[in-house]
């Protein structure tokens, strides 16, 4: 099989598994959005998937993403920033992405709000939540989310859509499910407090069926679509 066919085959397998996982728990497969995480993969690889109908792409490094966006500017794609936010990059993020999944402090939300070009409409954002302490990873504790969410809500150029997490890898599907269910409960509690969140960004190549079973509305899949990445930068 050509590399291109292998890529399309893996992508179709992920789409089929998404459908199956959703159907198994009585969810409409259309309620789960597939984000193809294309970090470290070339613009031309993205183009192959875009031609097949994949329109949401996730990137973790601003400059790398920008170069690909330039090569692909003839396509209408939705770009999601899923890397850690650095204060000196918020302007580029606000200008070049439609979604940001990794907001974990008010300062960044305020900067994104100020720097979002008005003609692009509000930036769609998620708050990153951590469920266990892990060195080098972003996110705030579940108990801290309500205060941050309420402080973000009045900002007009960002729209708070929901919560995102990158839980530590677990091989037991029941343990994976339990982690993701904490996120679903948290979102429900926030909505009961008057927020209107509709997005749970959770599930990666090794745990997305469990994430879907727990209510994920957006899964972020890299390896299962593109194959393994070479180690580069700080991962995630
Ligand atoms: C790299 C990355 C992914 C994709 O991970 P895979 O295990 O390759 O599917 C998802 N989310 C975030 C935040 C990432 O950095």
Quote the pLDDT of residue 233.
55
* CB-based contacts of 196, cutoff 8 Å, min separation 6: none
How far is it, in rounded angstroms, from Cα 40 to Cα 59?
9
Asked if the model's pLDDT at residue 232 lies above 70, the reply is no
Task: Work out the pLDDT band at 236, boundaries 50, 70, 90.
Answer: very low
Pocket of ligand 1 contains residue 78 by CB under 6 Å: no
The rounded radius of gyration (Å) of the Cα atoms in the chain is: 17
Which is nearest to 103 in space by CA: 164, 154, 147?
A: 164
Distance 154 CA to ligand 1 centre (A): 30
Report the residue among 13, 17, 35, 37 best suited for mutation to probe ligand 1: largest number of ligand atoms under 8 A from its CB: 37
Residues 55-87 have pLDDT tens digits of: 999 999 999 999 999 999 999 999 999 999 999
Going from the Cα of 30 to the center of ligand 1, the distance in angstroms, rounded, reads 21
Tell me the per-residue pLDDT of 14-23, one tens digit each, with 9 for 90 and over: 999 999 999 9
Question: Element (H or E) spanning 14, and its range?
Answer: helix 3-24
Question: Which atom number of ligand 1 is nearest to the Cα of residue 82?
Answer: 13
Distance (Å, rounded) from C-alpha 7 to C-alpha 18? 17
CA of 63 to the centre of ligand 1 (A): 18
pLDDT at 164: 98
Task: With beta carbons less than 8 A apart as the criterion, state whether 82 and 58 touch.
Answer: yes
pLDDT at 235 over 50: no
Model pTM?
Answer: 0.96
List, in order of start, the domains of the chain with CATH numbers. 3-226 (3.20.20.10)
Ligand 1 centroid to 221 CA: how many Å? 6
Q: What is the pLDDT of residues 157-214, one digit of tens each?
A: 999 999 999 999 999 999 999 999 999 999 999 999 999 999 999 999 999 999 999 9
């Amino acid at each position: 099989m050509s590399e291109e066919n292998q890529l399309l085959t893996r992508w179709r397998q992920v789409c089929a598994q998404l459908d199956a996982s959703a159907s198994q728990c009585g969810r409409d497969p259309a309620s789960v959005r597939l984000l193809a995480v294309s970090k470290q993969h070339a613009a031309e690889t993205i183009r192959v998937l875009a031609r097949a109908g994949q329109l949401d792409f996730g990137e973790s490094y601003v400059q790398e993403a920008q170069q690909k966006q330039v090569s692909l500017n003839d396509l209408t794609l939705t770009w999601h920033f899923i890397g850690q936010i650095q204060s000196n990059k918020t302007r580029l993020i606000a200008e070049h992405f439609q979604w940001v999944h990794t907001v974990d402090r008010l300062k960044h939300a305020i900067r994104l709000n100020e720097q979002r070009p008005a003609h692009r409409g509000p930036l769609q954002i998620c708050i990153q939540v951590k469920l266990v302490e892990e060195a080098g990873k972003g996110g705030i504790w579940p108990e801290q989310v309500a205060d941050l969410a309420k402080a973000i809500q009045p900002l007009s150029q960002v729209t708070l859509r929901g919560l995102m997490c990158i839980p530590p890898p677990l091989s037991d599907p029941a343990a994976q499910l339990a982690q993701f269910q904490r996120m679903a409960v948290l979102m429900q509690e926030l909505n009961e407090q008057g927020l209107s969140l509709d997005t749970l960004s959770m599930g990666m190549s090794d745990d997305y069926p469990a994430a879907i079973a727990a209510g994920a509305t957006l899964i972020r899949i890299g390896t299962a679509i593109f194959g393994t990445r070479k180690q580069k930068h700080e991962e995630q």
